[in-house]
Amino acid sequence: MFLLLPGFAIVDVAGAVAVFDMANDVLSHLGKPPPYRLRLLAATEKPVLGSSGIPLGTHAVPMRVQGAIAKLIIAGDSRASIQEFDAAERRILPCWLQRHARQVELGATIGRAARALAQAPCATPMDSHRARTSPVAQARWIEVSLTRGAHLAMDLVAQDHGSVIASVIASRLGAPFRDAYRNGASQAPLVTYSPADPRIDELHRWIARNLRQSFSVASLAEHLAMSERTFTRFYRRATGSTPAAGVERIRLDAARRHLESSLCSIKAISLQCGFASSEVMRRAFIRNLRVSPKQYRQLLASSSSRP
């Protein structure tokens, strides 16, 4: 849901809507249901003028919302006080926000006016109870400056669906998004070598050269001439993950490169990269990248076919 206040930046709302629309399109291409249902709301049902004088049609905020509000994005201008709002906004919106605060899973404000609204207490009774005087606090709120609406949407899509989906959308948006959100591409490996500790660097490279080998904690510890217990503590302290997770992610890096650069079958790639089976590789892709190898290849093809 988008809640629009007069003077909102068109670039914020249009950019965010475009990102969510692209996410729906990309995921539909993978056979998944579109995850985002977009609605433009305001205090009353009338067009709301943006900062450039362009009006957008809106629906009035519903008195009752069934179920959770996954995302509520409030877009406003540079007003810093609720007293600068018009009478309908002051009367309706703070109480509406507080009434539905527990249903909002994630809220975001763009601009000072939006932040002022999210922090404003309800001044009139709501339902049959006295209004609370505390600001909306139940939801997790993000504050974003003006003109950052598309970046906000990109971050939310990446959180929801992973860096691969975000990188595909970024490739459609072009620079600077393509550079900022290319985490799903081969240029950004899941495992980065650690120049601060040459032993970790050398171990990762040894694993990458011998992917068809089966790696146990004992074999990894032996390679560094450590006991298993010492090695496990050392590896977790140096990388923040377990040795098994590190090996899996190195295999994933190699599998992604094969999917990007070759026409080999997924089964052949899984064997080349040391996965026990293509199904094991599929589960690793979904766990780490939130897409299957087949979907990953589809996304690469769809991105490369676009001008």
Given 1.10.1740.10, 2.160.10.10, 1.10.150.20, 1.10.10.60, which CATH number is that of 198-304?
1.10.10.60
- Residues 162 and 1: their CA atoms lie apart, in Å, by 21
Where the chain has pLDDT below 50, the residues are 125-137, 184-189
- What residues contact 282, with CB distance under 8 A and at least 6 apart? 266, 292, 293, 294
Q: Where are the alpha helices (DSSP H) in 100-227?
A: 112-119, 149-161, 163-173, 177-180, 198-209, 217-223
Give the CA distances from residue 267 to residues 64, 257, 280, in Å, rounded to whole numbers and listed in that order: 51, 15, 10
Give the CA distances from residue 149 to residues 12, 157, 185, 300, in Å, rounded to whole numbers and listed in that order: 4, 12, 24, 26
> pLDDT tens-digit profile of 59-103?
999 988 889 999 999 999 988 888 889 898 999 999 999 888 889
Q: Same CATH topology for 2-180 and 198-304?
A: no
What is the structure's pLDDT at 307?
Answer: 52
- Residues 163 and 241: their CA atoms lie apart, in Å, by 19
What is the structure's pLDDT at 231?
Answer: 95
Give the CA distances from residue 157 to residues 21, 29, 138, in Å, rounded to whole numbers and listed in that order: 11, 16, 22
Domain ranges of the chain: 2-180, 198-304
Domain 2-180, what fold?
Answer: Rossmann fold (3.40.50)
Give the CA distances from residue 148 to residues 3, 10, 28, 67, 75, in Å, rounded to whole numbers and listed in that order: 16, 11, 26, 28, 11
C-beta separation of 253 from 185 below 8 A: no
What is the structure's pLDDT at 305?
Answer: 55
Query: Is residue 277 classed as helix, strand or coil in its secondary structure?
Result: coil
- Burial classification of residue 54, based on how many CB atoms lie within 10 Å of its CB (0-12 exposed, 13-18 middle, 19 or more buried): exposed
How many residues in total does the chain contain? 307
What is the structure's pLDDT at 234?
Answer: 94
- What residues contact 302, with CB distance under 8 A and at least 6 apart? 26, 29, 168
C-beta separation of 109 from 141 below 8 A: yes
In our burial notation (b when 16+ CB lie closer than 10 A, e otherwise), range 225-259 reads: ebeeeebbebbeebbeeebebbbbbbbbbbbbebb
The token pair at 58 is: 């809106």
What is the structure's pLDDT at 222?
Answer: 95
C-beta separation of 242 from 232 below 8 A: yes
> pLDDT tens-digit profile of 21-38?
999 999 998 889 999 999
C-beta separation of 172 from 306 below 8 A: yes
At 215, the amino acid letter reads F
Which of 18, 299, 264 shows the shortest CA–CA distance to 185? 299
What is the structure's pLDDT at 45?
Answer: 92
